[in-house]
Structure 1
Amino acid sequence: MTDAPDRSPRPTDAPAPGTVGPGFRERVLPGVGGWAAVVAFAAVLGVALWPASHAIALGVAGLAAVVGLLTLWWTSPVVSVQDGTFRAGRASIPVTLLGQVTTLDADAMRAELGPRLDARAYVCLRAWARTGVHVTLEDPQDPTPYWLVSTRRPQDLADALRRAPRPGA
């Protein structure tokens, strides 16, 4: 047995059809606390309705839990680098228009979102993912100077952006 770390590819690192090399995909989901808050809210609804009707209380609590959990999942943005395109939430841009990529730890992300934030920047932020990347844009026709994107795997995202194929490079 060796002490080497497991280097087997993760499902999100598998090459997407039509791409060269591994891509990147992450759904920026809440942590355990976010999921627990939804379940706790549903339980509070059930307890509040319990004196009126046990059946209604259980039904409302169950429905609130399911709707809340699905809403958390559905509203969590997907960050990906596939098919020569960088996607963060609903926005996408060809990797050919990207410049420097910088990984951000929690302190750097806080600074980028505070005193250093340019109001023209595209921000795909989730408070539960405290790290991210800063990606400059090199499109003279786009007034957006950079993207600031939350991710729990900033180094993996930066690596995928750097190795994404760029025609003419």
Structure 2
Amino acid sequence: MSLAAETRAAVRARPWLRYALRAGVVNYAAAAESLDVGGDRDAVATALRRFAGDLPDIDTDAREVTVRMRSGVGLGGADGDAGSGDSDGAAGAGTADADPIASVGGERILPGGGGLTAVTADGDVDAAALSAVVDRLAAENVVVDAAGVAGDRLAVVVPRSDGANALRLVEEALAAVPDG
């Protein structure tokens, strides 16, 4: 494999570096030193510069969504084990018969008495939107207890004390979702 191909493979294994290259905010010499690529550091830096030149610029797109917050939710399994997933240990959040706010992999976000808050966005959502939301919440140190997207609904579950902040951050993230 050529040095250029090896460098591109190393970048693809680090999505954050690919994103930074697209954004044009990379110190190429430092990035070259951090990669486990055989060859001279200057040659790897040159390969990084060339690769960055081939990548598309980052574009963002505002999503048409309705964002809502619902406090007092809990996480429960499909078997009616409601509340077992609460971060604060609150049992009894919701009932086995309650309509879930969202459900992912057998875990349901259930209304009624839990110590968590669900922020949902209905409309133009997809995996890229979910990634932007989770990244934005992580950047502000907001713990995400559950997150998922299906159809036209995105949902994130956070501790109740972070609910209002999470609502604002979700709205901000969905106003500028980066392209792939």
* TM-score using structure 2 length: 0.27
TM-score by length of 1: 0.28
